[in-house]
């Protein structure tokens, strides 16, 4: 008698647990990636040549940053790493490989006046000529 009751009570929570899992999954999917606009402080620091693109696909400091700029860049680099990680998984590559390929493109995309880092680690200001990139860049 007692055993039967125990079995009945044991079944119910599993159903509830499955429902809970389903709802959390639905919530996680429903939350959209925040398509926030570029921070004006980021655009300003970029235009001023305080921050620039590195060959590894991340942002770096061409000049010693203020705490605000440091925080901004760290935040963007964390988001970039998350994006690279997702893309690396879907393309069957490593995060470093995908980040590096993105770095090639991001340096190519810099506008005159913006900073980028050469493969040798030197910060250069982009001018009208093509940027100095890694030999492996397409």
Partner 1 sequence: MKRTKIGARRPTIDVRHVAVMIGAPTLMGALTGCVQIETPDKPIEINLNINIRQEVVYRLDGDAKKLIEQNSEIF
Residues that bind partner 1 (CB under 8 A): 35-38, 76, 79-80, 83-84, 87, 90-91, 93-94, 96-98, 100-102, 104-106, 109, 135-138
Burial 20-52 (b: 16+ CB within 10 A, else e): eeeeeeeeeeeeeeeeeeeeeebeebbeeebbb
The distance of closest approach from Cβ of residue 131 to partner 1 in the complex, given in angstroms and rounded to an integer, is 15
Identity of the residue, 70 or 79, whose beta carbon is nearer to partner 1 in the bound complex: 79
Identity of the residue, 63 or 97, whose beta carbon is nearer to partner 1 in the bound complex: 97
The distance of closest approach from Cβ of residue 106 to partner 1 in the complex, given in angstroms and rounded to an integer, is 6
Q: What's the CA gap between 131 and 108, in Å, rounded?
A: 7
Burial 76-108 (b: 16+ CB within 10 A, else e): bbeebeebbeeebeeeeeebeebbbbbbbebbe
Place of tokens 């000049």: 63
Identity of the residue, 101 or 117, whose beta carbon is nearer to partner 1 in the bound complex: 101
Identity of the residue, 24 or 68, whose beta carbon is nearer to partner 1 in the bound complex: 68
The distance of closest approach from Cβ of residue 90 to partner 1 in the complex, given in angstroms and rounded to an integer, is 8
The distance of closest approach from Cβ of residue 83 to partner 1 in the complex, given in angstroms and rounded to an integer, is 6
Nearest CA-CA partner of 54 in 40, 73, 75 = 73
Identity of the residue, 20 or 71, whose beta carbon is nearer to partner 1 in the bound complex: 71
Strands 59-61 and 51-53: antiparallel
The distance of closest approach from Cβ of residue 94 to partner 1 in the complex, given in angstroms and rounded to an integer, is 6
């Amino acid at each position: 008698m007692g055993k039967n009751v125990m079995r009945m009570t044991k079944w119910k929570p599993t159903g509830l647990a499955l429902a809970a899992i389903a709802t959390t999954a639905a919530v996680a999917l429903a939350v959209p990636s925040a398509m926030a606009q570029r921070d004006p402080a980021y655009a300003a620091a970029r235009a001023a040549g305080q921050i620039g693109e590195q060959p590894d696909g991340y942002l770096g400091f061409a000049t010693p940053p203020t705490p605000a700029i440091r925080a901004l860049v760290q935040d963007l680099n964390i988001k970039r790493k998350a994006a690279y990680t997702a893309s690396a998984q879907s393309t069957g590559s490593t995060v470093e490989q995908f980040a590096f390929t993105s770095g090639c493109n991001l340096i190519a995309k810099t506008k005159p006046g913006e900073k980028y880092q050469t493969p040798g680690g030197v910060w250069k200001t982009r001018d009208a000529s093509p940027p100095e990139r890694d030999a492996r860049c397409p």
